[in-house]
Structure formats: C-alpha cells, structure tokens
Amino acid sequence: MSGSVTQRTVERLRALIESGCLPPPGRLPSERRLAADLHVSRSTVRNALQILREAGEVSVRSGRAGGTFVATANPDANLYARADISIGDHRLIEHATGLPQGIPETVASQGFRTVTYVKRIDVRTPDTIAARRLALEEGEPVLRAERVRAVGGHPVAHETAYLPYRRYPGIEHADFTQSVYSIITERYGTMIGHVIESIDIRMANENEAATLDVPAGSPLIFSESVAHDADGIPAEYSRDRFRPDRVRIVAEHTFPQPSNQPIETQGHMNTQ
C-alpha cells in the first residue's frame, strides 16, 4: 500500500481523534469499521494505526474490553527532558531534548563551542524504519546526514538525520555543521510544530565505539525522534547516540498553578 494513502489515512484518523468525538481515553472503532468508513483497505488502516501507536497518539489494550484507544494525555502538564552535557572542566551544559534545538545552539547559548564533524552526506533509499517514521512511499529517497558533535575536545554525540528528499531538493548542498532544524526552516520554510522522542540504552557497535572513542559494547544513550511540521507531517527523523559519561538525561515536569480568580457562572437568579 502506498505511503501517500497510508499518510492520508493517518491524518484522517488524527482529525477524528481531534474532533472531540473520541476524547481520551476514547475507544476507536474496529479496523473493519474504520476501513469501511474511510473507504480504504484494512491493511491501510492497520498501517496507519501502527504509525499512530509509534507516535504515542493511540495505545492498544488487550482483553474483553480491549481495543485501540486515544492515548491518555494531561493537557495541563508539560513534560520534556533535558540532557546535561559534561565538558572537560566538569561544568554541565543543559540541553533540552524533544525540542527543535540542537546541541550547537544549546552549547553556544552558555558560552561554549561545539565542533561538528560531518562524516557523510548522501541521498539514498531509506531503511524500513526510517521510511515508516517519515511516512514515505516505497522507494522514495531521503538525504542521510551523519555527524559527530564534540564539546571541549571530547566527542559527545553521534547523530544521523534522515530528510525526505522530495520535500527538500538540493539539501545535500547545505552546510550540515549547522542545525538540521535551522537548515529546513531557513532554506525551505518548514516550521517544526512538535517533536516525539524516545530514549533508551543500547550497546555501542564497532563503528559507534570508534566514532565516540569508547570501547565496543559500552552502553550509549540512544535517542530516536521524529520532528513534525505545523501540519503534523513528519519533516525529519533522527537517531542520535550520546556518551553516558558526558550526557545525563533529566526529566522535568511543569504544572500550572491553580488560579485564584473567582469562578464565573452563566445564567441569572430570580428574586421574589
């Protein structure tokens, strides 16, 4: 099934969720019902739901009361993570993750300098995971940018970014020592609306170990993120690896304080 049909189905399902007819934790209709209502195949619906699951927008529950549900969200809570990057003099640089800002901007804002080494830039057919994250059609090319970030003379991050080439023609000529977000914003007018990021621990393979100057098999912080534009369309996909002796992930929650304003009521009171 072509990626364009699947992506249209994803957007129509998002519209259904955002319509308010299925408030969290509302249950979505069955695949059969959705396929009939949207006039697409069940496999297309299944693929679209998989994309929404990977984006954290829906969840699957098993059992008699199971099904696919809108992911529970707290609209009054803001959750993001930050990484404290350790440099040679043991000072820490706070780096926000899950936001459209790269290491260079974070480091520069605190008076330090990042050195970026561009290892490889090429246009290629993406692997299955990258194609799925970007909702690409089969065989649609991407630009793959592989870079290393160093701070204080130490490599701290090994970054690999994937960009849909049809959306960004000629982007291989850009200066990839800059932030990818700044490139696609300034050259192509793409505004990032939100970023979905997952973080886990993985063991360094031989290439990653050599790149980050650590022993093979050492644990690395692995970050996988998809940046969506203002219309919710995937605009960039990245896989980043950080040295855990240089980077510390900290989650921060911000909650609004209760208002002291009196509650307004509608209507009127009749007096005798």
Domains of the chain with bracketed CATH: 3-70 (1.10.10.10), 78-254 (3.40.1410.10)
- 39's torsion region: left (phi>0), alpha (psi -120 to 50) or beta? left
At residue 268, the pLDDT reads: 41
What's the rounded Cα separation, in Å, for the pair 143 and 139?
Answer: 13
Residue pair 20/238 in contact (Cβ under 8 Å)? The answer is no
Q: Which two tokens stand for residue 142?
A: 């991407």
At residue 238, the pLDDT reads: 95
What are the average pLDDT values for consecutive 10-residue runs of the chain, which has 272 residues?
A: 74 74 67 88 90 78 72 43 50 53 58 81 94 93 95 86 97 93 93 88 91 91 91 94 78 62 45 36
At residue 80, the pLDDT reads: 43
Q: Give the predicted TM-score (pTM) of the model.
A: 0.61
Residue pair 185/146 in contact (Cβ under 8 Å)? The answer is no
At residue 233, the pLDDT reads: 93
At residue 25, the pLDDT reads: 53
At residue 186, the pLDDT reads: 92
